[in-house]
Amino acid sequence: MKIAAWMLLLGLPIVARGNVLINGGLETSLTATQPDDLVYASPSMNSNALPGWTITSGTVDIVPNSYFQAAQGNFSVDLIGTPGIGSIAQTFATTPGDLYRLTFEFSVNPENKSKEKNTTKVLQVEALGANGSSVLASQTWQDTVGTRTRTNMEYQQKTFTFTADGTSATLTLAALAPLNLPAGITAATAYCGPVVDGLDLEDTGSGQPPAPEPASLGIVGAGAILLVVRRGNTKHEIQNTKHKTRNMKHET
Stretch 138-160: mean pLDDT, rounded?
98
Minimal CA–CA distance to 90: which of 37, 34, 168? 168
Q: What are phi and psi of 247, to 5 degrees?
A: -60, -40
The fraction of the chain above a pLDDT of 90, given in percent, is 73
First to last CA, the chain: 46
Question: Pairing mode, if any, of strands 86-93 and 120-128?
Answer: unpaired
Stretch 24-29: mean pLDDT, rounded?
98
Residue 145 CB contacts under 8 Å (≥ 6 apart), including other chains: 108, 109, 110, 117, 118
Residue 169 CB contacts under 8 Å (≥ 6 apart), including other chains: 91, 92, 94, 100, 127, 128, 129, 130, 136, 162
Could you report the per-residue pLDDT of 80-133, keeping only the tens digit for each? 999 999 999 999 999 999 999 999 999 999 999 999 999 999 999 999 999 999
The fraction of the chain above a pLDDT of 70, given in percent, is 75
Q: What is the pTM of this model?
A: 0.78
Q: What is the pLDDT, as a whole number, of residue 34? A: 77
Do residues 119 and 192 make contact, with C-beta atoms less than 8 angstroms apart?
A: yes
Minimal CA–CA distance to 178: which of 147, 152, 140? 140
Minimal CA–CA distance to 25: which of 81, 64, 67? 64
- The three-point CA angle 142-86-57 to 5° equals 140
CA 249 vs. chain centroid, Å, equals 71
